[in-house]
Amino acid sequence: MEDTVVTREGLVRLREELERLTTVERRRIAERLEHAAAGGANRAENGDYADAREQQLLLERRIARLDQKLRGARLVEPQPGNGRVDVGERVHVRDLVSGDRLELELVGTLETDPDAGRISVVSPLGKAIVGLRRGQVVDVETPLGRRRFEVLEVEPPPQAA
C-alpha cells in the first residue's frame, strides 16, 4: 500500500468525511432502498430501486477507498520556525510571469483542494517550493507552461487547540 503524507488538519477532515459517509450517507441510501422496495414492484424492473442500489455500490466503493487511503496515510508535522516551506504550512508566492500573488497551503495528496488553495506536495509547484525560504525564486513547468515563482512568505500552520 502506498504511503501518503497527510497533515493533522487534513487527517481530521478526512476522518470526518469517512464518518459522514458511513453514517449519514449510508442511512440516506438505506432509506431510499426501503422506500423503493415498498412500492411492491418487481425489483428487477424498479428503476428507483436499481438507481438506489447503484448509489449504494458507489458509496461503498468510496468508503473502502477512503478507508484504505487513511490506513496508509502518514501524519506529517511541519518544522516550525525553520523558515523553510514545509508540508502543512501556508505559503505566499508571486508568479513572476503574470504578477499574480497566490496564497497556498502545502498538503498531502489526499487533501488537495485547489479551490481552497491546498496544493499537493507532489504537484509541480508543490515539489518546486518545498524547502525554499522567503525571497527564493524557482522555475516550475506547469500546465500553463514554464513559470517563475518567488516565495514571499512562509506561515506556520495554526496551532491545534
CA–CA distance from 20 to each of 12, 59, 65, 155 (Å)?
A: 12, 11, 15, 31
User: What's the pTM?
Assistant: 0.74
The answer to whether residue 161 is domain-embedded is no
pLDDT per position as a tens digit, 137-149: 999 998 888 999 9
Count of domains observed in the chain: 2
Co-location of 68 and 97 in the same domain? no
Indicate the average pLDDT of the chain.
89
Q: What is the residue range of 151's domain?
A: 90-155
Residue 109 lies in a domain: yes
71 & 132 share domain: no
Please list the ranges in the chain whose pLDDT falls under 70.
1-3, 40-44, 158-161
CATH of the domain at 127: 3.10.50.30
Per DSSP (E only), the strands in 12-144 are 73-75, 90-95, 101-107, 118-120, 137-142
